[in-house]
Amino acid sequence: MTGLYERHLAVSPEWLALYYRHPLELTHGEGRHVWDADGNRYLDFFGGILTTMTAHALPEVTKAVAEQAGRIIHSSTLYLNRPMVEMAERIAALSGIPDARVFFTTSGTEANDTALLLATAYRRSNQILAMRNSYHGRSFSTVSITGNQAWSPTSLSPLQTLYVHGGVRTRGPYAELSDEAFVRACVADLEDLLGHTRRPAALIAEPVQGVGGFTSPPDGLFAAFREVLDRHGVLWISDEVQTGWGRTGDHFWGWQAHAENGPPDILTFAKGIGNGMSVGGVVARAEVMNCLDANSISTFGGSPITMAASLANLSYLLERDLQGNARRVGGLLIERLRSVAAASPAVREVRGRGLMIGIELVRPGTDEADPEAAAAVLEAARAGGLLIGKGGGHSTSVLRIAPPLTLTVAEAEEGAAILADALHAAG
């Protein structure tokens, strides 16, 4: 592995981060487990950053990929593409957006980039509202609407971005308020902001902030925002790259926790729907999607092979009610982790829903984030045979737990036990 690591360093950007003091090369996987080049087996609680959504080497998906690869792998959107049309039909129906149109991309970054293009073209405005502590991708436009300093390498932007409160419930100026008062304060902040600016094109928001550390507002916040946005003629973009497809357990889409006023104007997705294949996309009502007055295609978006994988993966997820499994097993896991955390003075909060759980670490006796402790727990968990992620605000002090949605109760218990040992070992 040392040789491969040295080769990586010789040809890769310095900012291309790797986990662990001694980085892993993962060679194969099965179910909820992966193996490294040294033959070590790990329980995977991160799924390639929430992307291996159902299981590693899922037979239904690998069979669909192999069969499609034997016919044709690529054609581009300049030709009719049956798997793409079939997938678009299914997503349009599931989205909740009336008269929906679907455009496929190759990543969540590109999906959010497309959503910004649509919103700014439709509203003829380059102003965007975004949430503090947010993350929406690594392209020039998505970095410019990312409210997380650790993931925003430049202040240059094609957009004018204004940030509003609400993405983080337990920190910031409204943290001590009740849920109802928190929502009222955030709505008042939004109203005040809109009274001091020209009409923005859209508000983009993650229902649960992913890279930001799996934080979320009280249910109903974005419904309350929607009333204000509609009054001011501002679109709502729901970034479902991490929350979509039933991961939160309670809902198929994250926006449905805020559903009193209906679906968003634009919805973006990616990550798990391809179960590891490069798939992203945008859903919008026809009026918004069709607003572009210039040519636009995608060379790789919606390719036959990625659509075959996505169709098989979506069918597997729906037929086996993996959303229900995320709710049941995720509920057990979060309660188990809260019991574990009660014995650790370094844990500030265990939060999340379904199989999307964050453990925030602080220096004991303070409210100060402790990224060194998070790194130590990450290492200790790996040594115990468990892979997890990390993220959060201005420092990576939140352990991110997002296993494949087929996780069993026994595997949840095993992972929680390893995390308990890791927290103890790390201090």
> C-alpha angle with apex 278: 74 to 254, nearest 5 degrees?
135
Task: Tell me: do 187 and 289 sit in the same domain.
Answer: yes
Task: Tell me: do 216 and 284 sit in the same domain.
Answer: yes
DSSP 194-208: HTTSSPPSEEEE-SS
**CATH classification of the domain holding 125:** 3.40.640.10
Backbone phi, then psi, for 242, in 5-degree steps? -105, -25
Please say whether the beta carbons of 67 and 246 come within 8 A: no
Which of 218, 229, 216 is CA-nearest to residue 266? Answer: 229
Backbone phi, then psi, for 306, in 5-degree steps? -75, -30
**What is the mean pLDDT of each successive set of 10 residues along the chain, which is 427 residues long?**
89 94 97 98 96 98 98 96 98 97 98 98 97 94 88 86 95 96 98 93 97 96 97 97 97 94 95 97 98 94 98 98 98 97 94 97 94 96 98 89 98 98 88
Distance between CA atoms of residues 167 and 153, nearest Å:
21
pLDDT of residue 261: 80
Helix (H) or strand (E) holding 44: strand 41-44
Domain hosting residue 39, numbered range: 2-58+321-425
Task: Tell me: do 268 and 413 sit in the same domain.
Answer: no
From 271, 303, 319, give the residue that closes a domain: 319
Please say whether the beta carbons of 412 and 336 come within 8 A: yes
> Which class for 421: exposed (0-12), middle (13-18), buried (19 or more C-beta within 10 A)?
middle
Task: Tell me: do 172 and 71 sit in the same domain.
Answer: yes
Q: What type of residue is 143?
A: V
Distance between CA atoms of residues 43 and 349, nearest Å:
23
Task: Tell me: do 342 and 311 sit in the same domain.
Answer: no
Distance between CA atoms of residues 44 and 63, nearest Å:
22
CA dist list (Å): 415 to 267, 389, 422: 32, 13, 10
pLDDT of residue 150: 81
Q: What type of residue is 72?
A: I
Task: Tell me: do 7 and 94 sit in the same domain.
Answer: no
Task: Tell me: do 286 and 354 sit in the same domain.
Answer: no
CA dist list (Å): 32 to 35, 95, 122, 271, 406: 11, 28, 43, 17, 8
pLDDT of residue 202: 98
Q: What is the pTM of this model?
A: 0.96
Task: Tell me: do 329 and 293 sit in the same domain.
Answer: no
Distance between CA atoms of residues 114 and 388, nearest Å:
30
pLDDT of residue 151: 81
CA dist list (Å): 363 to 340, 371, 401: 17, 9, 21
Task: Tell me: do 271 and 410 sit in the same domain.
Answer: no
Tell me how many domains the chain contains. 2
Distance between CA atoms of residues 351 and 359, nearest Å:
7
Distance between CA atoms of residues 138 and 151, nearest Å:
8
> Which class for 185: exposed (0-12), middle (13-18), buried (19 or more C-beta within 10 A)?
middle
Distance between CA atoms of residues 206 and 216, nearest Å:
8
pLDDT of residue 1: 59
Task: Tell me: do 216 and 228 sit in the same domain.
Answer: yes
From 287, 302, 319, give the residue that closes a domain: 319
**CATH classification of the domain holding 376:** 3.90.1150.10
Task: Tell me: do 117 and 226 sit in the same domain.
Answer: yes
Please say whether the beta carbons of 419 and 388 come within 8 A: yes
Please say whether the beta carbons of 234 and 185 come within 8 A: no
Distance between CA atoms of residues 427 and 262, nearest Å:
46
What are 235's two structure tokens?
A: 């679109």
> C-alpha angle with apex 217: 214 to 223, nearest 5 degrees?
130
From 319, 337, 366, give the residue that closes a domain: 319
Task: Tell me: do 212 and 138 sit in the same domain.
Answer: yes
Which of 30, 72, 59 is CA-nearest to residue 307? Answer: 72
